[in-house]
A and B are shown apart, each in its own frame.
Chain A
Amino acid sequence: MPERREFLKRAASMAALAVTGCGWNGGPLWPLLRAWDRPNQWLQRALAPPGGPRARIEPPGSESAAFPQYYVSPAMPRVDPRIWRLEVGGMVQRPLSLSLSDLAAMPRVTLRLRHYCIEGWTAVASWTGVRVSEIARAAGADPAAGFVDFRSFDAGYWSSWDRESALHPQSMIAIGMNGSWLTPGHGAPARLYSNLKYGYKSVKYLTGVRFVPERTGGYWEDRGYDWYASL
């Protein structure tokens, strides 16, 4: 029975493929898996409570003893805070070029939040900074700009957010952490911080905030991590 033998052979090789094919990212199915981010984005929005999620404020003293530091550059990115500027532009009435003292003079908020990394770990820290919505108000961001693009001096690391999440009252440009100024290991002089999305969305070593009409991707998002990535 040659057909039968052929069939068995084929079944065996498919089984072998199924076994050795593990650790496989999907090969030709990868575009489908990426396209599936869209229905998942719909689901993520649908799961958020009406009026948007509210991050829980962690109890005093719960700050983690070791909060991981992370950057993509080969060495820790550093800049002289006296010459550093945060450029706010895109669809805005008044483009801004903010120094660290300009930022520090704006209305501030401090939130003790649990940080969620996509890898699966969490850590708690208290963050002090200026709400992104405050920056948007100061710059006169066009309501038609549905997305906000964040750039850094960390080897081109960047990300982009939907406007709603970026302007959420718990999303900020942080300049302080655990009661001190932000250190280079955590994104000094200023970084985006919010725990409404996974950590990789909170761009460190910020240089620019742009209000844009289209979503623009990001460093990890372009490599396969979810763009919406809400928590």
Chain B
Amino acid sequence: MELPVQSEERPVRFEQPLLLRFTHWLNVVLLAGMIASGLQIYGAYPAFAERGADFCCWPLAGKRFPEAVRLGGWLAGGLKWHLFLMWGFVLNGLVWLGWQIGSGEWRRRVFRPRDARGAWEMALWYVRLRDQKPAYEVYNGLQKLAYTGTFKLGVLAVATGFAIWKPVSLPLAEWMGGYVWARFWHFLIVWAFVGFTIGHLFMTLVVDREATRSMILGEYRDPAPANRRASVMATPEVKQDA
């Protein structure tokens, strides 16, 4: 199968709805603020052990994060920011989820066990162990895995956050192994978010810049021919008029 040459006219494959673009960029700001204020809060007791006890699993106890990545100035400031931004973080997530459910778009975007094969093939293709790009609709298996995963990460961040904010009022902390562990899980989720963000930035700024464009302007066009190996969408059902 030969790809049509379309150096000027690059067809629009799909569009990112305005609501998705808005919640995405708002989430960038909110998540950055949540992490920065969270690192400020962490600095008030940069360890996990209960007083008079040891904690197995955090070798960097006692080390604080540099001021440049903290928000709030001191503990009370960090907490004020954290407990203010959390409203936006949760509400923004609910708006996003409401849109996914209301529009039915979640069906094309959610990762299901049957997407595992596609995700694996996509990964092989990216590392050049596979010649032909796997076929997919809007999102490939790897994207579905990443985006469904970050949403779940957000849910876990909120659940562990409430667990350590209200350890007496709510039973959440006990379900998570106690307050010390709930606090540790909350902290680890930050690094999962950071890890995702690094991968996400690489994929959208280096591998497929069209994705960045579409998240700002809406339209996702076929990438320019020079960039085609990396990111053309080999969608079999798309008509190809030469």
Contacts and interface: CB of A to CB of B under 8 A. Distances in A.
B135 interface: no
A181 interface: no
Given A30-B77, A36-B80, A196-B168, 17 more contacts: A25-B74, A26-B77, A32-B84, A33-B77, A33-B80, A53-B168, A64-B52, A65-B52, A66-B52, A68-B51, A116-B179, A120-B42, A120-B44, A120-B45, A121-B47, A122-B51, A220-B76
A56 B174 CA distance: 10
B51 A123 contact: yes
A123 B79 contact: no
A8 interface: no
Q: Is the interface of A mostly helix, strand, loop or mixed?
A: loop
Interface stretch (A39-47, A82-90, A134-142, A147-155): A39-47
B52 A23 contact: no
Contact of A25 (B52, B72, B179): B72
Interface stretch (B63-71, B112-120, B137-145, B191-199): B63-71
5 contacts: A25-B77, A33-B81, A47-B170, A119-B75, A123-B52
Contacts of B80: 25-26, 30, 33-34, 36-37, 224
Contacts, number: 118
B35 to A, nearest CB: 11
A106 interface: no
A76 interface: no
Contacts of A230: 166, 168-169
Contacts of A116: 167-168, 179
Contacts of A1: none
Contacts of A117: 45
Contact of B68 (A22, A225, A226): A22
B73 interface: yes
Interface string B45-56: 101011111000
Nearest to A67: B51
A24 interface: yes
Interface of B: 36, 40-42, 44-45, 47, 49-53, 67-77, 79-81, 83-84, 87, 162, 166-170, 174, 179-180, 183
A53 B165 CA distance: 14
The 8 closest A-B pairs by CB, nearest first: A224-B76, A65-B52, A25-B77, A66-B52, A120-B45, A123-B51, A25-B73, A33-B80
Interface string A112-126: 001011111111100
A160 interface: no
A151 to B, nearest CB: 22
A230 B165 CA distance: 9
B30 to A, nearest CB: 14
A122 B44 contact: no
Contact of A66 (B51, B170, B183): B51
A24 B179 contact: no
A37 to B, nearest CB: 8
Contacts of A20: 68
A217 to B, nearest CB: 14
Given A67-B51, A117-B45, A195-B168, A23 B72 contact: yes
Interface in A94-119: 114, 116-119
A66 B166 CA distance: 24
A195 B168 CA distance: 8
Contact of A114 (B36, B69, B170, B179): B179
